[in-house]
Amino acid sequence: MKFYDREKELEKLHMLASSLEKRGKTVVLYGRRRIGKTTLVKKAFMEHDNFLYFFVARKEGKLLLRDFSEILSEFLSKKGVVSGEFTRWESFFRAIFSYSRKEDTIVVFDEFQNFLYADRSVFSTIQNLWDEMGKESRILMVFTGSYVGMIKRIFRDEKEPLYGRTEHFMNLGAFDFTTVSRALSDMGINNIEEQIRLYSVMGGVPRYLELLEDTPHRDFRDFVNNFVKEDEFLRDEGERILSQEFGREYLRYFAVIEAISLGKATLTEISDWTGESRTSVSRYIHDLHREYEIIKRVVPITEDPRRSKKGRYFIKDNFYRFWFRYVYRNSSYFEIGNHEHVIREILDENNAFVGPIYEEIWRNALFDMSKKGLLPFRIELIGPWWERTSEIDIVAINENSKDILFAEVKWNNKPVKKKVLEELRKKAEKVSWHRKDRKEYYVIISKTEVERELKDTEDEKKVMIFSLKDLEDWINTK
């Protein structure tokens, strides 16, 4: 698969590498596995005259040092620098810093957190040499990490040697749907409904998109059959990644994520479903949110997230949401080979599963449209809104102009009726935000076309109607 997106990340890495004559720099590049960190750093630096790349494998420290010594010795010999064998980490890193005093040098340590298993003394060694030589060297040290909790603790825990030794953290996220759509189109998957269904499962993870490229399928049903019956890599993926991230308590973390994947969105609902106390669940939710960045907390768009007690929790990663809901929960069916049960469940529930993803895609699209001047006002905040008895899929606001937009999103094959707009207006009356002096707009978003009676109400200033075709047209213009 060709290289997509990442323009901002490349720009920042190039910027950091462009002024090394002033002082050395470090950057931590982290993000979940398969997200493309290695591809990004190689794209950014492979053509640099002095680029050193080291993959930190999970092996015994002496063996790792021997492997790294061979790479460094070969590099230095090509530069006319004689070096012997490096038998200690201190001499290995000192040689790198010494060379970088004369030449701009890029050094990448990929999966840096694996030094926790190979040799933890490396952290203190780097700290000491950075304090002694780093700022006087013309070096950019890039530390990448796939286990988010581990890599953040190494650099952000005050008790760790490398605390305070980097000014730059880059969190590499998944592709948005626009990029995924472009990649799938390049693979010959041009139907936007098919693209959205695949995105709801694979998300914007480059490695999973590569698997789609390697395993052609006729339609979503065919893809699900292959996923469930044949693709052991993806079936084992969630546990392979997250059990290592969470360590010995991974089963408890898994229980919380599974509950959220099934729509248990509040602390009370998650506690009741898992059978864990609210206090215990609160700790796991805090970790999943703050440390591991696997879930997100959402409050009604008109409320202050720092004060609101209406928080709901959602899984950020589409693949994890799918994996916990249909793979992990159905492990017994996989064990006995009852694949048909799993396939039937995925297909029967697919519209309900895809619905929230379609809402998210349109939230991003509306926000972008407003920036291009294609909506009546510039959106400042956008998200869902709810109270005890009512919920609105999308509400967008501009605090300065007092503009507010209410949107209802439908992902099904039924034509949308005028009644949907009438119900949306009634729900909008319950939103208290600037009730007396706001300007209101309404958006109906469907998967298919809407009924003629609703279409006749469309007004380019007050009521807007969008469909899947409009989304496709918008993406094609970007």
Confidence of residue 460 (pLDDT cuts 50, 70, 90): low
Q: By the 8 A CB rule, do 100 and 138 touch?
A: yes
Confidence of residue 82 (pLDDT cuts 50, 70, 90): confident
Average pLDDT of the segment spanning 447-467: 82
Domain spanning 7-171: CATH 3.40.50.300: yes
**pLDDT value at position 386?**
97
Q: Who's near 284: CB < 8 A, 6+ residues apart? A: 252, 253, 256, 276
List phi, psi (to 5°) of 140.
-115, 115
Give the right CATH number for 217-348 from 2.60.40, 1.10.390, 1.10.10, 3.30.160.
Answer: 1.10.10
Q: For 357-477, which CATH class?
A: alpha beta
pTM: 0.93
For the chain, the domains span 7-171, 217-348, 357-477
The owner of tokens 């106390």 is 277
Q: Who's near 186: CB < 8 A, 6+ residues apart? A: 2
Confidence of residue 456 (pLDDT cuts 50, 70, 90): confident
d(C-alpha 2, C-alpha 37), whole Å: 15
pLDDT digits (tens, 9 = 90+) for 325-380: 999 999 999 999 999 999 999 999 999 999 999 999 999 999 999 999 999 999 99
In a 13 Å sphere around the CA of 252, the CA atoms on its Cβ side amount to 16
pLDDT digits (tens, 9 = 90+) for 215-273: 878 889 999 999 998 888 888 999 999 998 998 999 999 999 999 999 999 999 999 99
Q: What whole-number percentage of the chain has pLDDT above 90?
A: 87
- pLDDT exceeds cutoff 80 at 452: no
The owner of tokens 């408890």 is 252
Q: By the 8 A CB rule, do 404 and 437 touch?
A: no
